[in-house]
């Protein structure tokens, strides 16, 4: 007999659709911002902001401000993409999706300020509503407590006070004493909760877990190899590549960036990507072994990768394949059987007979 699932509150439905719609608008606004970032109108707006308070106290140039705006827009696009996907799974009562949304709400709220901040704030507020009742009760699988409307003493029916009438409506009309925990078990029997063994055998590993881990290992390992080859090639041919970078991006020279600074930033980003990919592979191994917290951390990491790859695929068509793989991995991690895999009880192992220790 299946357990009855409480009806989804309208608060959850409204919050989830607001998250999906607001995230989509934030993504469109960030794409528009990045495409028009170096236009004359944007430069004039940034220059005006930096010439007037409070922008004049920042002490940065126009090029530096545009770089900060581009970075914030990329992070906002990644968070908005992950939040939109998580908003869909919130409708299906996925607890990890609600937790991941709460984590993403903070960077989305901060970085979304470059697009005006209204829709990113709306998404963050909707994520906060998922932790309030009755949404909290729905995610926990319990019915919200029913409120008893107080009865005025003048309107109470004869035969008892208003408090007695309300108490009689709430208390069970069985005439038997109220059962207490630990008492009332029949002789020779056991409580109902003891009929199910605590150490239940673990089920076979779900296919969604196998696919999620396999895709993570494959594309993370491939990314590490390609990134390492790219860094070695960049260091060996730094002079012509630096010249090409300055030719394609004139704002690099205007920002006052030297060749050493460009090389250091490139190596830092490359090493950070390699460490991220290695951490994802370790998380996939822990998730494959059934460590409970690994699924949530891997979910957040994959969601960030989905957002960054979605933005990169707009200009580099070669990133479409890893973007699809990351999206599939993200979907596999959100499946119910994946959540059940890390929440399963431990395997029932028989006690080991140890020989007595001779003292």
At residue 197, the pLDDT reads 38
Across all residues in the chain, what is the average pLDDT? 77
C-alpha–C-alpha distance, residues 20 and 26, integer Å: 10
Pairwise CA distance, residues 339 & 321, whole Å = 26
Q: Cα–Cα distance between 180 and 176 in angstroms, integer? A: 12
Question: What is the distance between the alpha carbons of residues 256 and 64, in angstroms, rounded to a whole number?
Answer: 10
Residue 3, pLDDT score:
56
Instruction: State the pLDDT at residue 126.
Output: 87
Which regions of the chain are under pLDDT 70?
A: 1-5, 53-57, 143-203, 251-255, 345-359
- Per-residue confidence (pLDDT) for residue 7, from 0 to 100: 82
Quick one: pLDDT at residue 110?
A: 86
**pLDDT of the residue at 192:** 40
DSSP alpha helices (H): ranges in 206-335?
Answer: 207-236, 238-248, 250-254, 259-289, 294-312, 320-333
pLDDT of residue 195: 39
Per-residue pLDDT, 350 = 47
* % of the chain surpassing 90 pLDDT: 10
Q: Where are the domains of the chain?
A: 10-139, 207-342
DSSP for 183-223, written as a single string: --PPTT---GGGGS-SSPPPPPPPHHHHHHHHHHHHHHHHH
H or E element that contains 110: helix 95-111
Q: What is the per-residue pLDDT for 347?
A: 52
Nearest to 108 by CA among 135, 82, 70, 69: 82
3-state secondary structure at position 253: helix
């Amino acid at each position: 007999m299946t357990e009855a699932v409480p009806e989804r509150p309208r608060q959850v439905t409204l919050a989830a659709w607001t998250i999906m719609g607001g995230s989509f608008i934030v993504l469109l606004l960030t794409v528009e911002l990045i495409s028009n970032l170096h236009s004359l109108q944007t430069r004039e707006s940034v220059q005006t902001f930096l010439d007037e308070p409070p922008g004049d106290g920042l002490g940065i140039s126009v090029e530096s401000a545009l770089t900060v705006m581009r970075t914030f827009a990329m992070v906002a696009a990644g968070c908005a993409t992950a939040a939109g996907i998580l908003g869909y799974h919130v409708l299906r009562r996925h607890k990890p999706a609600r937790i991941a949304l709460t984590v993403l709400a903070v960077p989305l709220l901060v970085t979304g300020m470059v697009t005006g901040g209204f829709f990113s704030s709306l998404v963050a507020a909707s994520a906060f509503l998922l932790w309030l009742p009755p949404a909290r009760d729905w995610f926990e699988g319990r019915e919200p407590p029913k409120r008893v409307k107080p009865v005025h003493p003048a309107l109470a029916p004869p035969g008892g006070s208003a408090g007695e009438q309300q108490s009689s409506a709430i208390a069970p009309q069985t005439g038997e004493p109220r059962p207490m925990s630990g008492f009332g078990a029949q002789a020779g029997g056991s409580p109902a909760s003891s009929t199910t063994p605590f150490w239940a055998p673990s089920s076979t590993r779900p296919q969604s877990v196998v696919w999620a881990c396999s895709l993570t290992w494959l594309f993370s390992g491939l990314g590490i190899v390609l990134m390492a080859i790219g860094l070695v090639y960049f260091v060996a041919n730094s002079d012509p590549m630096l010249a090409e970078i300055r030719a394609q991006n004139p704002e690099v020279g205007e920002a006052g960036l030297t060749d050493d600074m460009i090389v250091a930033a490139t190596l830092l980003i490359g090493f950070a990507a390699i460490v991220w990919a290695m951490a994802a592979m370790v998380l996939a191994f822990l998730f494959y072994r059934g460590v409970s917290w690994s699924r949530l951390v891997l979910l957040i990491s994959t969601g960030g990768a989905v957002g960054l790859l979605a933005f990169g695929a707009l200009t580099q068509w070669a990133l479409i394949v890893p973007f699809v793989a990351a999206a599939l991995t993200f979907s596999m991690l959100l499946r119910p059987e994946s959540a059940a895999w890390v929440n399963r009880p431990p395997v029932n192992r028989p006690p080991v007979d140890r020989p007595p220790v001779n003292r």
